[in-house]
Structure 1
Amino acid sequence: MKNKLPLYLLLFFLIIVNAFFLYNYLGAGDQGGPKDQIRPGDFLVKELGLDATQQAAFRTLGREHHRKMRGLLDDIKELKDALFKGLSDDPSHQVNVDSIVHLIGEKEAAKDLEVFRHFKKVQALCNAKQKEKFAKIIEDGLRVGGRDQGPRGARPEGERGPRSKGFEDNRPPRPNGPNANRPPPAARE
């Protein structure tokens, strides 16, 4: 009996750990999400103040848009899978790679066009005041996406990145010319 006691303790410990894991994984899984998280559609309904008729039309547009986007995303995934399956193929199959990449580009363009058309349809549901709010929401959404951050090389003076730490003294000063890559023509001799 004494030599089996550690095994019983280990068994008891493992049962407790498994019960804890199952409770957290299966039982409390639904409670783990953020309480205040809302869907983008709910955000637009609230911010634009859509009435019941507009909300019904908006939900229909949303379902149609989701169906179209799901189809496009599935097509893109299949094309990318086909592209990367050919990674180990003979290099002479470059034409096949180029055509797949071209098709992916067409699907991405169709996806962007679908998003644009969806927003145009949503805008058509709105009255004049709602259209102004909608335009502001879209503008803010584009800003958040990082569209107005400037070009990659346009960093403020002093921000050099992790590789250049300690080498600031050995570097020449940043150019101040109009192109920021060479001095202005008058300064050259």
Structure 2
Amino acid sequence: MKEAFARNKVLGVLVIILLLTNLLLLFFFVWNKPDDARSSNRGRGGEVMQLLEKQVGFSKQQLDQYKQLKDQHWERLKPSFGELRTARDNFYKLLNENSVPDSVLMAAADSIGAKQVVIDLQTYRHFREVRGLCTPEQLPHFDSVVQHVMKKMNNFRKSPPREDSLKR
């Protein structure tokens, strides 16, 4: 009898722990919403807008102009990202072939590189346009912010590979 009571007690404690965990998750997802300031700057460019406002000192008018430039920039880039994705897909589809000549492999890799060049040139031009919004006093701060943003983008692209689960 004592054994059954002890087993049910453990199950009861586990049920209570699970119930509390579920309530915490429910609270987190329902009531823990971001404040308006953070949610208004979410999405592409939200962090950059905050940097431009806080570190560079962009005015409301400059931020509005930046938002227009950013939206135009992403509209121009969308097709390029699609082309880059397609070029990479085509490159890795070559893995399905038994034998791929080096010339075909290099041509496919060059295609990826050409698409990336287009994206980088468009991004460079975009930042030159945004730089044109700056006052002379803001230029040093802007240049610093752009270098910071580009380093973050490059670190994201060059993040170290995860440990291969097959090597364990």
Q: TM-score range by the shorter chain?
A: 0.5 to 0.7
Given that residues 131 and 139 in structure 2 are in contact (C-alpha distance below 8 angstroms), is that contact kept between their aligned partners in structure 1? yes
Given that residues 41 and 62 in structure 1 are in contact (C-alpha distance below 8 angstroms), is that contact kept between their aligned partners in structure 2? no
Q: How many residues are matched? A: 144
Structure 2: distance between partners of 1:8 and 1:83: 59
Given that residues 49 and 63 in structure 2 are in contact (C-alpha distance below 8 angstroms), is that contact kept between their aligned partners in structure 1? no
Q: CA deviation at 1:106?
A: 0.8
What percent of counterpart residues are identical?
20
1:101 corresponds to: 109
TM-score of the two chains, using structure 1 as the length reference: 0.56
1:28 corresponds to: 28
AA aligned opposite 2:116: E
Structure 2: distance between partners of 1:88 and 1:123: 46
2:14 corresponds to: 13
Whether 1:39 aligns to 2:47 is yes
1:50 corresponds to: 58
- Structure 2 CA distance for partners of 1:133 and 1:19, relative to 1, 3 Å: same
Q: CA deviation at 1:83?
A: 1.8
- Structure 2 CA distance for partners of 1:10 and 1:79, relative to 1, 3 Å: farther
Structure 2: distance between partners of 1:78 and 1:11: 55
* Structure with greater helix percent: 2
Deviation track 1:100-138 (CA, whole Å, cap 9, x = no partner) reads: 211110111111111111111101112222223323433
1:137 corresponds to: 145
TM-score of the two chains, using structure 2 as the length reference: 0.62
- Structure 2 CA distance for partners of 1:9 and 1:46, relative to 1, 3 Å: same
- Structure 2 CA distance for partners of 1:60 and 1:13, relative to 1, 3 Å: same
Worse-superposed segment, 35-44 or 45-54: 35-44
- Structure 2 CA distance for partners of 1:16 and 1:108, relative to 1, 3 Å: same
Gap regions ≥5 residues in structure 2? 155-168
Structure 2: distance between partners of 1:27 and 1:93: 58
- Structure 2 CA distance for partners of 1:134 and 1:7, relative to 1, 3 Å: same
Given that residues 77 and 119 in structure 2 are in contact (C-alpha distance below 8 angstroms), is that contact kept between their aligned partners in structure 1? yes
The higher radius of gyration belongs to 1
Q: CA deviation at 1:7?
A: 7.0
Gap regions ≥5 residues in structure 1? 147-189
Structure 2: distance between partners of 1:101 and 1:112: 17
